[in-house]
A and B are shown apart, each in its own frame.
Chain A
Amino acid sequence: MAIFDMHTLWSGKQFDLHSLLNGNRFDLDALWPAHQTKSNQPRIRGGVHPEQRKEATADRPIDLGLPLPPMLYLALQQHVGKPAEPIVNVGDRVLKGQLLAVSQGLVSAPIHAPTSGVVADVMDYPSAHPSALPTPTLLLEPDGEDRWIALPDKIDPFSLSPEEISLRVGAAGVVGLGGAAFPSAVKLNLGRRTNIQTLLINGGECEPYLTCDDRLMRERARVIVDGILIMLHGLGCQKAIVGIEDNKLEAYTTMRMAAAELSDGKIDIALVPSFYPMGWDKQLIGYLTGKEVPADGRATDVGVLMHNVGTAYAVQQAIRHGRPLISRIVTVSGGAVGSPRNVEALIGTPLSSLLAHCGYRPKDAFRHVMGGPMMGDALPHPNVPLVKGACGILALTREEVSATDAKPCIRCSRCVTACPVGLQPLEMVSRIRAGQLEASLKFGMKDCISCGSCSYVCPSEIPLVHYFKYANGELLTRDQANHKAEQTKKLAEEKLARLARQKQEAAAAAAQRKAAAKKPKITEEAA
């Protein structure tokens, strides 16, 4: 690690004595892989250091004892892409792991029964979304027996073909468990087709409060490593690097031991500096491989593919044991939770049951957040179900949130320093406020990743990310309106053309009738 990094100094970030002193614990080999760095992008840019607040949950083992809720609510769309289509009827008895809804189209994912029971209803139910608008949901009433479908005995994942692995991952409903919920099979296919050179596994978990990946790595490292090896086989790739933040040293140690034992050198475990947003995939790619993903491209364009550690775990469960994705580890934390911990919960569990299980105090809860406090969604109420992409559910008190009214921008440009992408939030917001949304695009608003670093540092407490989300939504609406206007124009023109055509046909028919009426007269005369 460079002692005097001109790039970091130039970007205005005070250099970090803490990570400097940790230098001897870094795995230098993993930090400088064989391929050369091509871009002049500084290793780390921007970012903030929020209070971690992970102590409450980081050292407690995963709670496996969450009781079965009286009803499970399975949203048919808890992934990117088209919603799943139910193939069972109301009243059907289903077993644990049984396919309930099939994926639609190329980018989609199926839904499986998290436990055995009866399909109670398929209806619109509030979604796990800031609006809590209703979304089609399958209601499953558990029968308490928790009986699995027939699972295969022994599968050797490495005897399967790579295409078969992708197919099975897709059929198991595995999606990105880091929060994006993108269907993993689609990503694996893309990675295999583009012959990526390195698989990167994201063990960053930079958000405050969240420790689900940390506990997963500490307790089930060997399973994760197995999953990574299966993914490597599915991608036809020989090298994987796991990036773990340096505030998770136990996880680093357990993963290193597992990788040393099982992976035959294919998997490197690398320690990365802990700050927010280290877990941003492009940040991690830049740090671990030195490569920069072009703005209109994907990670596969630079020869890498990234998956979350939880996804690797789910892949292992799906391929080696035939178990579909029906549960996940969730961090339940926040000041209004009396006994915070990580819980292994079934998909579809109402968040209110999860909170109640952990000593929830509704009177103290000022805000409910699904995910982490930097990028998570505020839920109007916790009576929404757990979805595949939910890493955490936080019940925050008023002090933890500290929301006050925004003050005028003092142009201190701390937001510019904090932005990991290199945008200028203060300029974008001043354009958005003035209603000049198009003008804000030239400061990079399309590239905003909504990480929240700018809003975090703003001394005037301006809700910068909220403005960007609003502006992006408004631009999308306007694009759709423009598109509709063009379509309307086309329809109007087609109508006029149709009327003109009808008129012409009517005139032609009338002329023909006239001509036909004249003809007998002529022949009569001729005769």
Chain B
Amino acid sequence: MSTRVLSAPFARSDIQIRSIMLTVVLALTPGTAWGIFIFGWPALFLFLVTVLSALLLEAGCLLLAEKPVAATLTDGSALLTGWLIALTLPPWAPWWIGVVGSFLGIVVGKQVFGGLGQNLFNPAMLARVALLVSFPLEMTVWPNPAPPFSAAAPGFLESWAITFASQLPADGSTGATMLGWVKTEFSQGRHLGESLASGDYGFFKSLIGWTGGSLGETSALLFALGGGWLLKKQIITWHIPLSMLGTVALLAGVFALADGGRYPGPMFHLVSGSLMLGAFFIATDYVTSPNSKPGQVIFGAGCGLIVYVIRTWGSYPEGVAFAVLLMNSLTPVIDHYVRPRIYGRDRKGRPLELPEGRE
């Protein structure tokens, strides 16, 4: 029997960090599996390298910090971060992109701040943005979908060369993402209808994921379903996803009504890029999002606004990573001003007035 003085409560709910992390990983699996399927062996190699290096780097940091390695490594947080980083990479990127990305995400984005729960910015998004800015060439090579046994699919040895020897195959196997294509076509004066047709893009293709992009930018449907499952399991609540997707849809709808040829409509935006992944898995990250529900709605709306602005008027085709990082920096401000009202007090913290008629 313990002799320490212990306080109530002596009952606990079943929720644990590990179960939360593993549930999220499970929700990511369908979308990830699809992405690996359509991009073949190189995608699998890159995925494995990224996740493994994330785990190893985390173990290294824990050893340096003299924290218990086994207990922390098995709580699933490094696995999840590595998984998300892998989903943001171009599927045929060289292996060192994965390692550098994991380093940026795990070491710079998380451990340097103090480990789990201490980081200000989303580690996966930090890694992605840093990689994008540092290695723009490698980070913008988007292979076309090439599932196994199709004509364009690289064989095992060829895939090994792609990932570990940076030998991309001959032209014809890579192309632009839908967002990238549309943007470059606008800059050349061609309107939406034309560019979508000429590039052979479409709503249905983007929905199920038969399109270029990073592993997490493919199947909007599968990631949305995974997100829905997370909602059901009460791992996340509806506030951030709904406000983020709703803001994007609203803005897209308003602008599309104004000029349909120049501004893509809500359905286009909702299935393109990594918006679904971002709304359900990235922006809802516990550590970097606000504590209160109204604060989370503001956060999600802000993310949606910045995503739309960058996609429409910015020079990058996709804005989810930047939006999440910018809103992460505003999270402490949101938390400071948006707080639950304490029972018995008004919003400023002063005790409520007594009702009339009582002394």
Contacts and interface: CB of A to CB of B under 8 A. Distances in A.
B342 A295 contact: yes
A475 to B, nearest CB: 16
Given A424-B340, A457-B15, A469 B291 contact: no
B351 A294 contact: yes
Given A41-B343, A411-B287, A414-B15, A452 B352 contact: no
B133 interface: no
A130 B354 CA distance: 37
Given A366-B1, A377-B8, A296 B351 contact: yes
A352 to B, nearest CB: 14
A378 B7 contact: yes
A12 B342 contact: no
A38 B77 CA distance: 46
A288 to B, nearest CB: 15
Interface in A413-430: 413-414, 416-417, 419-424, 426-427
B7 A463 contact: yes
Contacts of B291: 411, 413, 416, 424, 426-427
A50 interface: yes
Interface in B303-359: 335, 339-345, 349, 351-355, 358-359
B8 A421 contact: no
A122 to B, nearest CB: 27
Would you call the interface of chain A mostly helix, strand, loop, or mixed?
loop
B134 interface: no
Contact of A297 (B117, B234, B351): B351
Contacts of B292: 413, 416, 424
Interface stretch (A223-231, A238-246, A367-375): A367-375
Among A369, A413, A442, A455: residue with most chain B CB under 10 A = A413
Contact of B7 (A396, A401, A459, A465): A465
Interface string A184-227: 00000000001000000000000010000000000000000000
Contact of B286 (A401, A412, A457, A461): A412
Contact of B6 (A208, A378, A423): A378
A483 interface: no
B17 A194 contact: no
Among A39, A459, A466: residue with most chain B CB under 10 A = A459
Contacts of A417: 293
B8 A465 contact: yes
Interface string A285-311: 000000111111100011100000000
Interface string A332-361: 000000000000000000000000000000
A50 B13 contact: yes
Contacts of B13: 48, 50, 456-457
A375 B8 contact: yes
A194 B293 contact: no
B343 A460 contact: no
Contacts of A512: none
Interface stretch (A82-90, A152-160, A263-271, A402-410): A402-410
B359 A369 contact: no
Contacts of A380: 3
A465 B12 CA distance: 13
B354 A297 contact: yes
B10 A401 contact: yes
A416 B340 CA distance: 8
A420 B340 CA distance: 11
A11 interface: yes
Contacts of B237: 12
A450 B290 CA distance: 24
Contact of A50 (B11, B20, B117, B343): B11
Among A291, A371, A378, A411: residue with most chain B CB under 10 A = A411
A369 B117 contact: no
Contacts of A297: 344, 351-352, 354
A303 B354 CA distance: 11
A384 to B, nearest CB: 15
Contacts of B158: none
A236 to B, nearest CB: 16
Nearest to A378: B6
Given A282-B343, A301-B354, A408-B115, A374 B11 contact: yes
Given A41-B343, A295-B351, A466 B7 contact: yes
Interface string B248-273: 00000000000000000000000000
B50 to A, nearest CB: 22
A51 interface: yes
Nearest to B9: A452
A11 B20 CA distance: 21
A376 interface: yes
Interface string A452-496: 100111111101011001000000000000000000000000000
Contacts of B239: 12
B340 A408 contact: no
B138 interface: no
Nearest to B15: A459
A282 B12 contact: no
B185 interface: no
4 closest cross-chain pairs (CB), A and B:
A452-B9, A295-B344, A466-B7, A295-B351
Interface of B: 1-3, 5-13, 15-17, 19-20, 71, 75, 77, 115-118, 234, 237, 239, 286-287, 290-294, 335, 339-345, 349, 351-355, 358-359
23 contacts: A11-B293, A12-B293, A48-B13, A194-B358, A208-B11, A292-B343, A294-B345, A295-B351, A301-B354, A301-B358, A302-B358, A365-B1, A366-B1, A367-B2, A371-B8, A374-B11, A401-B11, A403-B12, A408-B116, A416-B291, A424-B291, A427-B291, A456-B9
